[in-house]
Amino acid sequence: MELLRIRLEKLLKEAVKTIKPDFEDWNRLVLQPATDEKFGDYQTNFAMTASKIFRQPPKMIAESVISAIPANDILEKAEVAGPGFINFFMKNSFVAETVRKTFTEKWDFSHINTDGTVVIDYSSPNIAKPMHVGHLRTTIIGDSIKRIMNFIGYNVVADNHLGDWGTQFGKLIVAYNRWLDKENFEKDPIAELERLYIKFGDEAGKDTDLDELARTELKKVQDGDEKNMALWKKFVEITLAECKKIYDYLGVNFDTYYGESFYHPLMPKVINELVEKGLAVESEGALVVFFDEKENLHPCIVRKKDGAFLYATSDLATIKYKYENYKMNKALYVTDDRQAVHFKQIFNIAERAGWKMEFVHIPFGVLSFNGEILKTRAGNTIKLADLFKEAESKGLSVVEEKNPELPEDEKKKIAKAVGIGALKYSDLSQNRTSNIDFSWEKALSFDGNTAPYLQYSYARVQSIKRKAAEKGVTIDFNSEIRIESGIERSIAASIAKFPECVEKAAELYKPNFIADHIFDLVQKFGTFYNSTPILKAEPEKMQSRLLLAEAVARTIKTGLDLLGIEAPEKM
Ligand code: ARG
């Protein structure tokens, strides 16, 4: 089903064509959602931007466009406003019918170019170190963006660019050789690796030679030393298995785990290509790419004096690999904003190397907990496992309060959906570029823009349906939705315009647009529910209201799903 905006756009194009058959400059025809319901559904400033071409005052153009709109069952009326805006009011029957069609038809986004592949790189932790809350934002935001891009119809590859080749492995090998507790390692390998990692940090503080030793051990891995390679492999397996448990728990999936090590063999070729193309030049023994002055970027080292490759080299190899192995549409990277310069550098180099695709760095701000920023070194990291446990217990307290009579195992499932949902939502409902401060009180509140509030509204509709079934009433999807009040109109319009908010979220890589839309819908639904009888209404009205409630529930569910959040049937 075509988006409302697209339907209206087509009508307007026809109107413009009748008054000016040779008109082609369609970029000027932009429909914006109305800022307030009293101005209708959409607005355009077309008459103002086209005034020069038409050689007429905007108001006159607006009027002739309106009168040239062909007969249709979409528009109730169109009005000239202010200096020449046109406000469009859609028919209630059209909006209602659109809502009803959402039960059976998929939204059509074919006006967006979704050819080729979108690779989205997120989470991408440096493994062999414990995964902590620092990795949470990229994982949650990346997963949501992946879902949003899929919804639009892109072919998305989710890639976890594991940091599986860095200095941490050298440190771990030194610690393993010196301080391994064998028994502990057999019982709980991940705990022992964590202990060794911390132990190394403590010891390196006292003995400065240890860091040098770690570098030597790492170099041995990179040169293919058998014993160190075997250790490296073991560490990767153990820590990756641990990461995968976390992803499973969060409902996050990846298609590829091409870590830095995967690209290592490709790097010499990448370097050669950069040298051949005149991009990388020697400077004090290293290979460096310089930038045009206007880019305002400091030079990027792609190979060190000692021959070692760097983070940038690995990313360049990744891009070349994508360029050669996928028909690329976009390459997306979700990391915190401190990596912005790194990505500017490598995107610039890749473009000059001719590896064509659209590059987007999707940055986000800092996450703090009750005002405290977590740093690994300061020793105040929260382990993800502990955070999840807390989420579940907080979720459980919500369920105990709302629904104490549910069976235990059901309570547990809901507790997880609520707790983890609250955690994800408190991130995704905010503009990702802001720094966010997390607090359980805020995240679990039922009054504000929170996951439990949305989940509860979804569950409420399910409960209405159960009550209806007890009365022998089932929803008849063929019956008509009749808009009989302002609030019903407002709810129906919100449902019918939902895909446009997904479109916007995809365009700007901002899941908070979806959160905002769903929250607004849920508030409207609250007003409707408190003022309008559903099951006590006469049969025809009851069907219409049930259908509207069902459409609200499905929109909430879709919205939450795009944020990677579950919607339990009961709460
Ligand atoms: N491993 C990096 C880190 O933890 C993030 C990698 C992001 N992806 C990339 N292609 N550079 O900071």
Q: What's 133-158+255-364's CATH class?
A: alpha beta
Question: CA dist 259 to 129, 146, 189, Å?
Answer: 15, 19, 21
From CA 286, how far away is CA 291, in angstroms rounded? 16
- Burial tier of 356 (Cβ tally within 10 Å: 0-12, 13-18, 19+): exposed
- CB distance 166 to ligand 1 below 6 Å: no
Size (the chain), residues = 571
Rounded Cα gap, residues 330 and 359, in angstroms:
6
Does residue 380 surpass a pLDDT of 70?
Answer: no
Q: What is the pLDDT of residue 446?
A: 79
pLDDT score of 201 = 92
Q: Is 395 in the pocket of ligand 1 (CB under 6 A)?
A: no
Whether residue 333 has its Cβ less than 6 Å from ligand 1:
yes
For residue 360, the SS3 value is strand
Residue 517: what pLDDT?
Answer: 98
Do residues 362 and 146 lie in contact, with contact meaning Cβ atoms separated by under 8 Å?
Answer: no
Question: Which pLDDT value is given to residue 21?
Answer: 95
Give dist(CA 342, CA 315) in Å, integer: 10
Selected residue with higher pLDDT from 336 and 134: 336
Q: How far is the CA of 30 from the centre of ligand 1 (A)?
A: 38
Give the integer Cα–Cα distance in Å for 7 and 20: 20
- CA-wise closest residue to 196 among 227, 163, 172: 172
Q: In the predicted model, is pLDDT for residue 374 greater than 70? A: no
Helix pair 512-531, 408-428: axis angle to 10 deg: 120
315 lines ligand 1 (CB under 6 A): yes
Ligand 1 center to 124 CA (angstroms): 5
Q: Is the CB of 163 under 6 A from ligand 1?
A: yes
Q: Cβ distance 75 to 90 under 8 Å?
A: yes
Where are the CATH 3.30.1360.70 domain residues in the chain? 4-90
Tokens of 178: 């010196």
**Which pLDDT band holds residue 381 (cuts at 50, 70, 90)?**
low
Residue in the block written with tokens 């790492």: 218
Whether residue 165 is predicted with pLDDT greater than 70 in this model: the reply is yes
Query: Which residue's alpha carbon is at the smallest distance from atom 4 of ligand 1?
Result: 125
The 3-state DSSP class for residue 429 equals coil
d(CA 36, CA 48): 21
CA of 162 to the centre of ligand 1 (A): 7
Rounded Cα distance between 189 and 172, Å, is 13
Distance 312 CA to ligand 1 centre (A): 10
> What local confidence, expressed as pLDDT, does residue 64 receive?
96
> How many CB atoms are closer than 10 A to CB 294?
6
Q: What is the rounded average pLDDT of the residues 501-507?
A: 98
CB of 121 within 6 A of ligand 1: the answer is yes
For the stretch 200-259, pLDDT in tens is: 999 999 999 999 999 999 989 988 999 999 999 999 999 999 999 999 999 999 999 999
Q: Which two tokens stand for residue 492?
A: 């129906």
Q: How many helices (H) and strands (E) does the chain have?
A: 23, 14
408 burial (CB, 10 Å; 0-12 / 13-18 / 19+) is: exposed
- Supply the pLDDT for residue 370: 80
Q: Are the CB atoms for 424 and 494 separated by under 8 Å?
A: no
Q: Whose CA is nearest to atom 5 of ligand 1?
A: 124
- What is the mean predicted confidence (pLDDT) over 153-159? 98
Q: Is 456's pLDDT higher than 80?
A: yes
Distance from C-alpha of 455 to C-alpha of 568, rounded to nearest angstrom: 7
pLDDT over 60 (residue 376): no
**Residues of CATH 1.10.730.10 domain(s) within the chain?**
384-562
The band of 129, judged by pLDDT with boundaries at 50, 70 and 90, is confident
Q: Give the architecture (CATH level 2) of 4-90.
A: 2-Layer Sandwich (3.30)
Quick one: CATH architecture of 384-562? Answer: Orthogonal Bundle (1.10)
379 pLDDT higher than 60:
no
Alpha carbon distance 417, 251 (integer Å):
11
Q: Determine the distance separating the centroid of ligand 1 and the alpha carbon of 11, expressed in angstroms.
A: 47
Q: Is 332 helix (H, G, I), strand (E, B) or coil?
A: strand
Amino acid at 414: I
User: 168 CB under 6 A from ligand 1?
Assistant: no
Neighbours of 416 (CB within 10 A): 18
Calculate what percentage of the chain has a pLDDT beyond 90: 87
Average pLDDT value for the chain: 94
**What is the arithmetic mean of pLDDT over 478-500?**
97
What pLDDT is attached to residue 81? 96
